[in-house]
Amino acid sequence: MRLNAIDVPAALSCRFHCDGVFVGPLPILDLSASGFGASVPATTVLAPGSALESFELLADGSPIWSGEAVVVRGSDERIGGRFTSGVLDLHHFRLGATLDSRLALLRDQRESLPAPWRAAVADLRQLLEDAKFEMEELEQAEMHDPLRVGDEETELFTRVRARWGSEFYAAASELHAMSKDLDDRSAVLGRSYAASMLAPLVFPCPMHRRAYEKPLGYAGDYRMMELCAAHELAGDGLYGRFLHSIAQNYTLVQAVRGRTVLMREAAQKAADAEGDGPVRILALAAGPALELRRLLEDATTLRRPVELILIDQDRQAHESAHRQLSRILLERHHGTLPVTVRCLHFSVRQLLKPQTPDDVRIVEETLANIDLAYSAGLYDYLPEPVAASLTRLVFGRLRSGGRLLMGNLIETPDSTWIMDYVLGWPLVYRDEETLLRLADGLLPARTTITRDATGHCLFLDVTKLTCP
| Pick from 292, 321, 318: nearest CA to 307 | 292
Phi, psi (deg, nearest 5) at residue 22 = -80, 130
Q: What is the pLDDT of residue 6?
A: 57
| Pick from 94, 28, 10: nearest CA to 52 | 28
pLDDT per position as a tens digit, 323-351: 999 999 999 999 999 999 999 999 998 99
* Percent of the chain scoring above 90 in pLDDT: 73
Residues of the chain with CATH 2.40.10: 2-110
194-221 residues labelled b (16+ CB within 10 A) or e (exposed): beebbbebbbbbbbbbbbbeeebeebbb
User: pLDDT grade, residue 9 (50/70/90)?
Assistant: low
How far apart, in whole angstroms, are the C-alpha atoms of residue 113 and residue 123?
15
| Pick from 270, 283, 273, 150: nearest CA to 222 | 283
CATH 2.60.40 is held by the domain 2-110: no
pLDDT per position as a tens digit, 77-110: 888 888 998 887 777 666 665 666 677 778 889 9
Q: Pairing mode, if any, of strands 35-39 and 21-32? A: antiparallel
26-41 residues labelled b (16+ CB within 10 A) or e (exposed): bebbbbbeebbbbebe
Fold of 256-464: Rossmann fold (3.40.50)
Q: Give the chain's radius of gyration (CA, Å).
A: 28
Q: What is the pTM of this model?
A: 0.80
Query: What are the beta bridge partners of residue 17?
Result: 22, 53
Would the pLDDT of 8 be above 80? no
Residues of the chain with CATH 3.40.50.150: 256-464
pLDDT per position as a tens digit, 355-393: 899 999 999 988 999 999 999 999 999 999 999 999 999
Would the pLDDT of 198 be above 90? yes
User: pLDDT grade, residue 32 (50/70/90)?
Assistant: confident
Average pLDDT over residues 199-214: 95
Q: What is the pLDDT of residue 103?
A: 75
User: What is the overall mean pLDDT for the chain?
Assistant: 91
